[in-house]
Amino acid sequence: MFILTPDTIWNPGALEMRQVPRRVFGRVMIFPRRGAGVGLWLRLIFEIEVLRYLVALLPFLLGAVLFPRYALAISQAPLPMLIVIYLFEAKVLRLSKPAAKALASEAEVERGLDLLRVRAVAVLSKIAAGRGMAEGRLHLVVEQSEMWRMPPLTLVSVQSEAGPEVMRLSVDERALLAGLFDDGFSERDLLRVNLAAGACLRDVAFDVRGVSAHARLAALIG
């Protein structure tokens, strides 16, 4: 999971938005600040379509290098290349629609999304209480890559309708987001639910007027 805020990436301008939720995959490239692991960098780089296409076409590139006499013929065979790219994207990295739907039953999808919603509301309530917000709507947005056969890549952000904007989060607020996933409900579990439901972006909205007096008091004491 990567928490997306203007303070965690080198290019915060990529988070400018006109409406909630702000999508990332397929629209902008983000560059994490120092502290991000190599695995996260590689996973983000793999989201770039052109680079994935190069991986799929690697056999053609190797063939042209190892057999120079056939290099011209290989370079002039676009149809096989397109077929290889399609098979790599649709069959190797992703699941077909029937296979994706079979990952989870409707009941499992509902339970997973309900659990995400409950945890998201709890996080947003604590953030709103900690900031002393009296009005407005916050959104906890969870976006995942659709590639099932790769390690899950999950982007989590708190977005405000005021602006609208992707909010800057303190270290303590980012720590609250860690509670979205655990051994009982992991990123892979959410991806399974998302693929079965056919949507990999989840937006949980919360009206801050719903923050309880107890939550506000606990934030004040804290």
pLDDT in tens, the chain (222 residues): 999 999 999 999 999 998 999 999 988 889 998 767 888 888 998 888 888 888 888 888 888 778 787 777 767 778 888 888 888 888 888 899 999 999 999 999 999 999 999 999 999 999 998 888 888 999 999 999 999 989 999 999 999 999 899 999 999 999 999 999 999 999 999 999 999 999 999 999 999 887 777 666 676 676
pTM of the model: 0.87
pLDDT value of position 119: 96
Burial of 67 (0-12, 13-18, 19+ CB in 10 A): exposed
The total of other beta-carbon atoms located within 10 Å of residue 71's CB is: 15
Helix (H, G, I), strand (E, B) or coil at 92: helix
The total of other beta-carbon atoms located within 10 Å of residue 179's CB is: 12
Cβ atoms of 150 and 44 closer than 8 Å? no
